[in-house]
Amino acid sequence: MRRSALRTLPAIVLGAALLGAWEAYVDLSGVEADLLPAPHAVASALWSNGGLLWRNFAVTAEEVVLGLGLALLGGLALAVAIHLSPLLRRAAYPLAVGSQAVPIPVIGVLLVFWWGFGLFPKLVVIALICFFPVVVSTVDGLAAVDPEQPKLLRTLDASRWQSFRFAELPAALPAALSGARIALAVGVIGAFIAETTTPSTGAYPGLGREIITDVNFQTARAYAGTAMLVAFAIACFYALAIAERRLAPWSIRTRGETR
Amino acid sequence: MPTQLQSRAQPPTFGGGTGAHIALEGVSRTYSARNGAEVQALAEVSLRAGAGELLAVVGPSGCGKSTLLELLCRLQSPDRGSISCPPAVLMPQHDLLLPWLSALDNAALALRIAGAKRAQARARAEGLFVELGLAGFQHARPHELSGGMRQRVAFLRTLLSGKPVLCLDEPFGALDAITRAEMQEWLAGTLAGEPRTVVLVTHDVEEAILLADSVVVLSPRPGRVVAQLEVELARPRRRTDGDVIALRERALAILATGSQS
Ligand SMILES: Nc1ncnc2c1ncn2[C@@H]1O[C@H](COP(=O)(O)OP(=O)(O)OP(=O)(O)O)[C@@H](O)[C@H]1O
Ligand SMILES: [Mg+2]
């Protein structure tokens, strides 16, 4: 417990220093509050709008978690398919790369036309933004499996599926999880993009919408919402690091970073 | 340090076959690299081993010993020549324990591949696991085991495949002298209880003579059979026995000169 507290100390110190510098800058430069609210103003906006921001945050958090789930499932499935089929690799890999260049607003209207104003089109946007790192790192992880291992499994009469299940899949798991961490880091901004490109009809449209609405006239509240998104991204990232330690304990030992 | 090697049980007969259990006739194997260069690993190799025998293969590094075992295990096919060999299982040069499985799960891998559930496979492997001196390490991860223990787990995994022929690729090559001597005795004892036909690749001539019924000496690449020495010495054998020393010197001389003079 004390050790983990000690480990978070540098991040807290750096964060506090940056906030202090920001506060000092706003005070000394006299920049307008509409342009850059001071940290204390953001904190008080967070405090007085807590309920509103929190309900919007809950909507966004759900989108991020489900969208990432979709991205992971789709990304892993595609990576495995690409690994098993050289033909599919040649056919699908360039398209997967190209998909990352599509500006989401171009297809936003179409997604709404297909699936309406609900949750699902937003999940599709998030998944589209997040699946790529999962695919790339999983494909690389699968390709980097020690070629002796499948050989060993073959001499034990393993089928193709068993060789995959006992050797390739666990060997590629750490790489797949690294891909998931990258996906997670872009997942939150993915949700923001999803909310701003596919409108909602719900009572709370999500934090992304809220921020866009607030940014001109309620700047402090927009910053408060942003702070929540930032904190959420950090929390998710470390949650996944903990999951990784449980799912692939053998890989942590060799890298020795997160311990 | 143990010096006595236990005696082995009478060879079992597999499939009621008579004569040679394993027979290679004029086997050659050439690898072609991507740039078109060719490396001939084995040239015109002919050898035989009877059922239940332990055949040792010695030879300089790169002479095609691992290739020979992969041919026996049908992981590769020869370019020329014929191979007759019952189903064989490979214990690779590097133990290749899977880091994501516990020691016991690694040992039981062949059983799970054969369709057993995890709990069943573990239960069936546990008896031998304990017998092989691994008690208490069932749940250890491979990196938590000593070199000797890793080799035992890898050997057990090979044994539990149930195949009649075991191909062991330098099983004790990476171990220190004392551990190696212990493991040699351990292997002799284990094979006495679980008789199989064994092809043992080693660079340790003494090990070959202590353990084998017959020793094949290969030349430098491309590997050819320079000599096949029958080791007709009673067991248990000690490394200090006059006969063992004499045979060792002969084998070393053949290795050094590359001919049987
Ligand atoms: N997959 C491969 N592709 C190309 N060349 C290979 C391949 N495998 C082995 N060789 C070459 O064939 C020769 C024999 O290799 P092999 O591994 O059978 O030797 P070895 O006797 O087992 O050597 P060591 O004692 O060092 O293990 C070597 O020169 C090696 O470089
Ligand atoms: Mg070798």
| CATH number of the domain where residue B200 is located | 3.40.50.300
Range of the domain at A102: 50-255
- Amino acid occupying residue B247: L
Return the pLDDT at B183. Answer: 84
Interface A-B, measured as beta-carbon pairs within 8 A, has a size of: 51
Block residue for tokens 């998931």? A180
Domain assignment of residue A3, yes or no: no
Domain assignment of residue A29, yes or no: no
Q: Greatest CA separation found in chain A?
A: 75
Instruction: Say if CB B236 and CB B6 are below 8 A apart.
Output: yes
Same domain, B66 and B174: yes
pLDDT digits (tens, 9 = 90+) for A14-33: 999 999 999 999 889 888 88
Same domain, B124 and B139: yes
Query: Rounded distance, CA B68 to CA A102, Å?
Result: 54
Same domain, B108 and B204: no
- Please choose, from the candidates B171, B194, B184, B200, the residue with its C-alpha nearest in 3D space to the C-alpha of residue B236: B184
Nearest C-alpha in A relative to B70:
A155
Domains of chain B: total: 2
Return the pLDDT at A249. Answer: 82
Domain assignment of residue A218, yes or no: yes
Would you call A156 and B100 a contact, using CB atoms and an 8 Å cutoff?
no
Domain assignment of residue A4, yes or no: no
0.85 surpassed by complex ipTM: no
Here the CATH number for the domain that contains residue A241 is 1.10.3720.10
Query: Rounded distance, CA B217 to CA B227, Å?
Result: 5
Range of the domain at B126: 94-157
Return the pLDDT at B55. Answer: 95
Residue B215 C-alpha, separation from nearest chain A C-alpha, in angstroms: 24
Model confidence band, residue B34 (pLDDT cutoffs 50, 70, 90)? confident
- pTM for this structure? 0.80
Looking at chain A, how many residues does it have?
Answer: 259
Q: Which residues contact B200 (CB under 8 A, 6 or more apart)?
A: B54, B55, B56, B57, B168, B171, B207, B208, B211, B212
Return the pLDDT at B17. Answer: 41
Provide, as residue numbers in chain B, all residues whose Cβ is less than 8 Å from the Cβ of A173.
Answer: 100
Same domain, B67 and B190: yes
Domain assignment of residue B109, yes or no: yes
Domain assignment of residue B43, yes or no: no
- Between A226 and B186, the more confident residue is A226
Residue A53 has pLDDT above 90, yes or no: no
Residue B140 has pLDDT above 60, yes or no: yes
Q: How far is CA A119 from the centre of its chain?
A: 17
Would you call B141 and A250 a contact, using CB atoms and an 8 Å cutoff?
yes
Provide, as residue numbers in chain A, all residues whose Cβ is less than 8 Å from the Cβ of B121.
Answer: none
Domain assignment of residue A14, yes or no: no
Partner residue opposite B109 with nearest CB, options A146, A166, A248: A166
Query: Rounded distance, CA B180 to CA A112, Å?
Result: 70
> Residues B2-20: what's their mean pLDDT?
46
Domain assignment of residue A110, yes or no: yes
- Ligand 1: residue whose CA is nearest its atom 1: B31
Domain assignment of residue B29, yes or no: no
Return the pLDDT at B208. Answer: 92
Same domain, B169 and B247: yes
Domain assignment of residue B173, yes or no: yes
Same domain, B192 and B217: yes
For residue B47, report the phi and psi dihedrals to the nearest 5 degrees.
Answer: -160, 165
pLDDT digits (tens, 9 = 90+) for A127-136: 999 999 999 9
Same domain, B192 and B232: yes
Partner residue opposite B98 with nearest CB, options A157, A167, A253: A167
Domain assignment of residue B13, yes or no: no
Instruction: Say if CB B198 and CB B54 are below 8 A apart.
Output: yes
pLDDT digits (tens, 9 = 90+) for A100-114: 888 888 888 888 889
Instruction: Say if CB A179 and CB A139 are below 8 A apart.
Output: no
Query: Rounded distance, CA B42 to CA A225, Å?
Result: 71
Provide, as residue numbers in chain B, all residues whose Cβ is less than 8 Å from the Cβ of A249.
Answer: 141
Looking at chain B, how many residues does it have?
Answer: 261
Among chain A, residues having any CB pair with chain B shorter than 8 Å are 146, 148-149, 151-159, 162, 166-167, 170-171, 173, 248-250, 253
Domain assignment of residue B218, yes or no: yes
> Residues B109-117: what's their mean pLDDT?
92
Provide, as residue numbers in chain B, all residues whose Cβ is less than 8 Å from the Cβ of A155.
Answer: 73, 75, 88-90, 161
Six-digit token string for B259: 């001919």
Burial class (CB within 10 angstroms; exposed 0-12, middle 13-18, buried 19+) of B82: exposed
- Amino acid occupying residue A150: P
Domains of chain A: total: 1
Six-digit token string for B233: 């010495």
The verdict on the CB of residue B57 being under 6 Å from ligand 1 is no
Instruction: Say if CB A23 and CB A40 are below 8 A apart.
Output: yes
* Cα angle value B129/B133/B134 (rounded, 5°): 55
Same domain, B210 and B252: yes
